């Protein structure tokens, strides 16, 4: 019963370190024009990591919301509102009073946090000794400012997206670290499938390029310290890789029930065909060397999509450029695809745009939709000396012109959540019309 409702991707939007829209981002991903550079958002000169993939030239006033609403946004929310608006405009459909209840919204949201500036205000006023003096909070301007609270809440982004675009159906925010964006797309897929909604605005947003955000990863030694060669710092599957590059941004997609999308003559980028999730239950930050966990997520996603490993032409890897992830992911991919593994073009677009954390899975879902729509596979930049343990058919040098029947995107998070989503070429769907 559920499986009869197919889901179409009819709109896409992106704000990334390599472009504030879909076209610019896509061009960069094809050529590997890196978004990584010295950090400009704060004085990082004393930090062991002084590079990041920042969103560039993005102006708050470009976000098309009332000034009053803008005050309720943090940096990542503004990325979200911009990318969501792009996706709705691209789809040519948006919630109306008579359809609002049939629209759902699922977002992968970044971690709840106040900005460094606000934290510093509270430190200076109420924690100057190095410890919070709760009594001083009572007269602390930041701690008494409802706007600071509103910007920092975990569901603030969801509140902004649903209220700005008038979404009145199921609305949810998930956070499974780097798997968040992928899980949000999977959640939206299932909401449409099970009839809870006919339309979805789904995506992810994050911005951790801040003193506290970057500190968290620095303390875990998770980031590349190649401060002198930023554009080469993110090099998934390369033998010399030494950590990921922190990025920021947002990706959103408009999803619609397939038949309705066809009826209105919508341009369909791809079918969002399957979603698979597993929990590694291994260690909080490590992935199992044998790929256990990601294997089950990929298999579940393919089964959910009714696709066989042999149908897959493109894999957008999680590919963080950490020693452990890339080896573990390779092991998982080899286990899932077996002898056919060399038929799958693989790239990690984090090589170009860095790791967008809670937004990564959503942005990379958009990338897969584009790979199908444009018959072109983006490159895995900076792969010079391939790690022999990362033996996959990785797209290097130039983007590949190839027809993509099925594309899949992996996203694995701290905490052990593994998300895999499957996208299918619309022509493949129509070819199988009798079954569908």
Partner 1 sequence: MSGSRILITGTGAVCGAGMGPEAILDAVCAGRSALAPITLWDTAGWPCRVAAEIPDFNPRTLVEDRKLHKLIRRTDLVGIYAAGSALAAAGVVTHRDSLEESAAATFNDRSGVFVGSGGGNYQNQYDFFPLMTEAHGDLAAFGRELTNAVNPMWLLRTLPNNVLGHLGIKYMLKGPNTCITNHSCAGAQTVIEAAAALRAGEADRAVAVGHDTPIEPEMVLYYYRLGLLASSELLPFDARRTGSLFGEGGGAMVLETEASAAARGAPIVGEYLGGGYACEAQGLIAIRDDGDGVVRAVRQALDDAGLRAADVGMIVAHGNGTPQSDASEAAAIRTVFGTASPPVTGFKWSFGHLIAAAGILEATVALASLKRGTVPGIAVWSRPDPDCAGVPVSASAQTPTSDVALVICRGFASTNAALLIRAL
Just list the catalytic residues.
Answer: 178, 318, 355
Q: Of 174, 357, 366, 407, which one interacts with partner 1 (CB under 8 A)?
A: 174
Q: Residue 24, interface with partner 1 (CB under 8 A)?
A: no
- Within 66-198, residue ranges assigned H as helices are 67-70, 75-91, 116-126, 134-137, 146-152, 156-165, 180-193
Find out whether 151 and 77 touch, Cβ atoms under 8 Å.
Answer: yes
Residue 214 near residue 227, CB atoms below 8 Å: no
Q: What does the per-residue mask of binding to partner 1 show for 180-219, with x meaning CB under 8 A?
A: ---x---x--x--xx-x--------------xx--xxxxx
Task: Select 171 or 379, whichever has its Cβ closest to partner 1.
Answer: 171
* Strand 7-15, strand 270-279: pairing: antiparallel
Question: Both tokens of residue 390?
Answer: 């990362």
Residues 332-361 that bind partner 1 (CB under 8 A): none
* 150 forms part of the interface with partner 1 (CB under 8 A): yes
- Cβ 420 to partner 1 shortest distance, Å: 12
Angle separating helix axes 360-374 and 180-193, nearest 10 degrees: 70
Work out whether 242 is an interface residue with partner 1 (CB under 8 A).
Answer: no
Tokens of 196: 């809870």
Kindly state whether residue 278 participates in binding partner 1, applying the rule CB under 8 A: yes
Compute the distance between CA of residue 6 and CA of residue 260 in angstroms, rounded to an integer. Answer: 10
Q: How many CA atoms lie within 13 A of 302 on its CB side?
A: 22
Rule CB under 8 A: choose which of 14, 93, 173, 223 binds partner 1. Answer: 173
Does residue 20 belong to the site contacting partner 1 (CB under 8 A)?
Answer: no
Site for partner 1 in 91-120 (CB under 8 A): 100-101, 105, 109, 111-114, 119-120
Nearer to partner 1, 210 or 345 (CB): 210
HSE (CB half, 13 Å, CA atoms) of 389?
A: 16
Site string for partner 1, 119-148 (x = CB under 8 A): xx-xxx--xxxxxx-xx-xx----xx-x-x
And the tokens for 216?
A: 């968290």
Min dist. Cβ of residue 49 to partner 1 (A): 9
Interface mask toward partner 1 for 33-72; x: CB under 8 A: ---------xxxxxxx-----------------------x
């Amino acid at each position: 019963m559920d499986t009869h409702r197919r889901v179409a991707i009819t709109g896409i939007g992106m704000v990334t370190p390599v472009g504030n829209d879909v076209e610019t981002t896509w061009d960069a991903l094809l050529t590997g024009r890196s978004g990584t550079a010295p950090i400009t958002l704060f004085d990082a000169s004393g930090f062991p990591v002084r590079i990041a993939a920042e969103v560039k030239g993005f102006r708050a006033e470009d976000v098309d919301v009332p000034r009053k609403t803008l005050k309720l946004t943090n940096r990542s929310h503004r990325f979200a509102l911009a990318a969501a608006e792009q996706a709705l405009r691209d789809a040519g459909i948006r919630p109306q009073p008579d359809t609002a209840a049939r629209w759902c919204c699922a977002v992968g949201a970044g971690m709840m946090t106040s900005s460094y500036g606000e934290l510093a205000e509270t430190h200076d006023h109420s924690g100057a000794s190095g410890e919070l003096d709760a009594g001083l909070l009572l007269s602390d301007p930041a701690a008494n400012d409802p706007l600071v609270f509103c910007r920092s809440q975990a569901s603030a982004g969801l509140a902004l997206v649903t209220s700005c675009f008038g979404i009145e159906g199921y609305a949810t925010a998930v956070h499974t670290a780097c798997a968040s964006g992928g899980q949000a797309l999977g959640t939206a897929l299932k909401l449409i499938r099970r009839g809870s909604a006919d339309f979805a605005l789904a995506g992810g947003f994050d911005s951790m390029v801040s003193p506290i955000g970057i500190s968290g990863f620095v303390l875990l030694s998770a980031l590349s310290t190649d401060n002198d060669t930023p554009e080469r710092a993110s090099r998934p599957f390369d033998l010399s890789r030494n950590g990921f590059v922190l990025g920021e941004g947002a990706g959103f997609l408009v999803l619609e029930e397939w038949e309705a999308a066809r009826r209105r003559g919508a341009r369909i980028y791809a079918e969002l065909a399957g979603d698979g999730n597993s929990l590694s239950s291994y260690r909080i930050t490590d992935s199992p060397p044998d790929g256990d966990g990601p294997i089950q997520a990929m298999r579940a996603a393919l089964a959910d999509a009714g696709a066989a490993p042999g149908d897959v032409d493109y894999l957008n890897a999680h590919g963080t450029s950490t020693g452990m992830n890339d080896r573990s992911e390779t092991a998982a991919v080899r286990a899932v695809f077996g002898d056919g593994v060399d038929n799958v073009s693989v790239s990690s677009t984090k090589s170009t745009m860095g790791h967008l954390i809670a937004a990564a899975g959503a942005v990379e879902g958009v990338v897969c939709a584009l790979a199908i729509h444009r018959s072109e596979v983006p490159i895995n930049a900076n792969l010079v000396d391939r790690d022999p343990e990362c033996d996959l058919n990785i797209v290097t040098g130039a983007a590949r012109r190839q027809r993509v029947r099925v594309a899949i995107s992996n996203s694995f998070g701290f905490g052990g959540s593994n998300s895999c989503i499957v996208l299918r070429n619309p022509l493949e769907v129509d070819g199988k019309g009798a079954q569908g």
